[in-house]
Structure 1
Amino acid sequence: MTTTYWRMVLAVVPVVGAVVATVFFLLRLYSRLLLKRNLDTGDILMSLGLFISYGVTICTILAAFSGIGNDIWGLQLKYHGRVIMLFWLTQTFWALSQIFIKLSVTLLLRSLLASIRKWEITTTALFIYTIAWGIAAILVNIFQCWPPQHFWLPTSTHGACINGQTAFFMSIGALSLIQDVVLLLLPVAVVWRLRLPIRQKVQITVAFSIGGLVCVFSLLR
């Protein structure tokens, strides 16, 4: 596949994803205002997460037109540093947006399962897990090299980077995927404990399974 192909993919797919996410978020706000006439903490967290995720979209598009898809070492020096810097920014924006989005989803689950003590403990654990994961991901990504710009300007700055950067990124992604799976399966487990017809349980499960796309994207990432 040509460089032009990957440039178009990296430019179009993030925009489509951002538009779809924005549409669903606006529908959520509309239904919330229609039913409750006000917004809650979960809505605010989701709006922050969505806004920050636009940073990921912008960085990906800029990287697409800066030569990503080519051999990184074959790029001109100015583009080489720019692509790596955009990757660094993308990782930071992604982790920060994930914190707000997952806290919002966890708050929603907590409100739905508030009457069940066991699930209240589970959602509390998810809050702690999300915050701890997010802090670790952001801090290590920012300070994996010192000074930070040594990450994308290794030849023009004096500094050092931690060992095992690849292992770190894989671990952060794997831990995020685990949480995605838990957030997906938690409501499904509750549904199958309810006294509902099997057909209705299956329909609700299928609806929740759409969220499995998030897990697929996390795995591909």
Structure 2
Amino acid sequence: MSSNQRIITDNNKSPLIQVLSLMFLVIAILSCFVRTGAKLYMIKALRVDDILIIVATVLAACQTVIVFNACEHGLGQHFEVLSSSDQETFFKSQYATNTMLIASLLCCKLSGTMSLRIMAQKGQKWIIIICEAVVSAWGITALIANFFQCQPPTPWLYGDNDKCINLKAFWTYYSTANIITDIIIVIIMAENVVKIQTSWSKKILVMSVFGSRIFVTPAIVAQIHYSNKAFDSADHSFSIWPASITIQLVQCLTILTVCLPNFKPFLDSLESGQIRVDDLRRQGKTIQEWAEQQISSSRSCIENTAQ
């Protein structure tokens, strides 16, 4: 079987899934590495949001390893040609893959909401807390539903619809909620950036970087489409190959967009030289704390002007 998997054919998409999954994983790992390296270089410390994105990347790596194993046991090939052992392994791999995916996306989104706290006005802190609670409920309930998607002792065996929840409805809900929470996070971020006292060019730049997570939406829509088609098919292992690729893409883009604002953290502040970075280190301030101070100062200026 392994020799056949080296060639992409109309009846074998396993190599395609493996190649794209590896490419997406490399992008995710590099994104996390750059973010973590930038934080350690600038402030020599990691915050909770940084730890969460590292955990999300580790989970994504584990998920990709499971996908590779699934490809070795029939993912991307027609279900009818698989041995009973490979069919069993395929279902178990899908079960584990979905668990890792949900956990990874949950960590990513919580990391994003925690980073958003530095930009929120005092009156909006409760909105961020509610948003974090909703995100946590979204992720935890999804994990529970995934764990018990089918009747024990084989909850991974989703081939029998009479013994399983409506997976089509579940994943549509899960992915739609993913889109909605992303949009809410972007709206809160944009509202706060607009109120910062700086040039519109800088406002647009900041909103573009922090709002890049909205570009995950098309990939999620594609995931919903292909997943629903796969659930309607009896050819479980083959019909799901487009959904598998879009899932890997969603995971990659989610990690990338959360890390993106830290690729070149506050690079504009370095235009005056290395002094500002040295000052930050001597003062023991993180880049995020410095940003919060700048935003707070801008708001104070606006309030004083209004008075």
**TM-score band, normalised by shorter chain:** 0.7 to 0.9
Question: 1:10: how far off?
Answer: 0.9
Aligned length: 214
Task: Tell me the residue number matched to 1:80.
Answer: 87
Q: TM-score, normalised by structure 1?
A: 0.85
Structure 2 residues without counterparts, runs of 5 or longer: 1-8, 224-307
Distance change (3 Å), C-alpha of 1:97 and 1:207: same
Question: 1:133: how far off?
Answer: 1.0
Do the aligned residues in 2 keep the contact of 1:142 with 1:148 (CA within 8 Å)? no
Question: 1:75: how far off?
Answer: 2.7
- Residue 132 of structure 2 is aligned with which of 103, 127, 134? 127
- Residue 212 of structure 1 is aligned with which of 214, 222, 246? 214
- Residue 196 of structure 2 is aligned with which of 172, 176, 194? 194
Q: Deviations over 1:166-192 (max 9, x none)?
A: 211221121122222223333223222
The 2-side partners of 1:176 and 1:69 are apart by 26
Question: 1:124: how far off?
Answer: 0.4
Distance change (3 Å), C-alpha of 1:118 and 1:14: farther
2:59 counterpart of 1:52: yes
Question: 1:212: how far off?
Answer: 2.7
Task: Tell me the residue number matched to 1:13.
Answer: 20
Aligned CA-pair RMSD: 2.3
Q: TM-score, normalised by structure 2?
A: 0.63
2:145 counterpart of 1:140: yes
Distance change (3 Å), C-alpha of 1:40 and 1:126: same
Task: Tell me the residue number matched to 2:11.
Answer: 3
The 2-side partners of 1:193 and 1:112 are apart by 10
Task: Tell me the residue number matched to 1:28.
Answer: 35
Larger Cα Rg: Structure 1 or Structure 2?
2
Task: Tell me the residue number matched to 1:106.
Answer: 113
Do the aligned residues in 1 keep the contact of 2:18 with 2:71 (CA within 8 Å)? yes
Question: 1:71: how far off?
Answer: 3.2
Do the aligned residues in 2 keep the contact of 1:67 with 1:79 (CA within 8 Å)? yes
Identity of aligned residues (%): 20
Task: Tell me the residue number matched to 1:165.
Answer: 167
The 2-side partners of 1:123 and 1:109 are apart by 8
Q: Deviations over 1:156-209 (max 9, x none)?
A: xxxx73442221122112112222222333322322233333333333333334
Question: 1:20: how far off?
Answer: 1.2
Comparing 103-112 and 185-194, the one that deviates more = 185-194
Distance change (3 Å), C-alpha of 1:199 and 1:150: closer
Do the aligned residues in 1 keep the contact of 2:21 with 2:64 (CA within 8 Å)? yes
Q: Give the counterpart letter for 2:125 in structure 1.
A: E
The 2-side partners of 1:67 and 1:147 are apart by 24
Do the aligned residues in 2 keep the contact of 1:184 with 1:212 (CA within 8 Å)? yes
